[in-house]
Chains A and B, each alone.
Chain A
Amino acid sequence: MALRLAAHGLDVALPAGWEGRIRRRAATAPGERTYPVVHLATVPLPEERGDFGGFVVDTLAGDDVFVTLFEYGPESVEKPLFATRGLPRQLRADHFSPRRLQRSLPGQTGCQIFFTEGGRAFCLYVVLGDRRQLARGVARVNALLADVRVTKTGVATG
Chain B
Amino acid sequence: MTLIDAPPAPRATRPGLAQRVADRASALFAKRSTTRRSFLVRTAIVGSALAVNPFRFLFKPGTAYAHVCGPANTCSGGWTVFCCSINAGRNSCPPNSITAGWWKIDNSVFCGGSARYILDCNALCSCGCGSSGICSQACTACSCHCGTNGCDQRRVCCNEFRYGQCHQEIGCVGAVVCRVVSCVPPWQWDPSCTAASATENRTAFHYAPCLDAADDASVYAFGAATYYGDPNVPLTSPVVGMDATPTGRGYWLVAADGGVFAYGDARFFGSTGGMRLDRPVTDLASTPSGNGYWLVANDGGIFAFGDARFRGSTGGMALRREIVGMANTPSGNGYWLVAADGGIFAFGDAQFFGSTGNLRLTREVVGMAATPTGNGYWLVAADGGIFAFGDAQFRGSTGNLRLDEPIVGMASTPTGNGYWLVAADGGIFTFGDARYYGGLPGTGRLQGTVVDAEATPAGDGYWVLSD
Contacts and interface: CB of A to CB of B under 8 A. Distances in A.
Interface of A: 25, 27-35, 48, 50-52, 54-55, 70-73, 75-76, 79-84, 88, 95, 97, 99-106, 110-115, 123
A100 B160 contact: yes
Interface stretch (B41-49, B191-199, B418-426): B191-199
B103 interface: yes
A72 B78 contact: no
A112 B133 contact: yes
Contacts of A113: 131-132
A81 B170 contact: yes
B132 A99 contact: no
Given A54-B203, A123-B164, A114 B132 contact: yes
B106 interface: yes
Given A97-B160, A114-B164, A32 B197 contact: yes
A60 B133 CA distance: 25
B131 A115 contact: yes
B144 interface: yes
A95 B131 CA distance: 10
B76 interface: yes
B201 interface: yes
Closest 10 pairs between A and B when the two form their complex, measured CB to CB: A54-B202, A79-B168, A80-B171, A84-B131, A103-B78, A104-B78, A81-B168, A51-B198, A33-B195, A50-B200
Contacts of A33: 194-197
B133 A102 contact: no
B327 interface: no
Nearest to A105: B78
B132 A95 contact: yes
A110 B162 CA distance: 12
B195 A73 contact: yes
Contact of A114 (B114, B133, B202): B133
B236 to A, nearest CB: 20
B437 interface: no
Given A29-B115, A51-B103, A54-B201, A101 B161 contact: yes
Contacts of A106: 76
Nearest to A104: B78
A100 B159 CA distance: 6
A157 to B, nearest CB: 9
B353 interface: no
A104 B158 contact: yes
Nearest to A58: B78
Contacts of A30: 185
B333 interface: no
A72 B164 contact: yes
Given A32-B197, A99-B159, 9 more contacts: A27-B197, A31-B195, A32-B195, A34-B196, A52-B163, A72-B196, A81-B164, A95-B132, A99-B144
A52 B78 CA distance: 14
Nearest to A37: B198
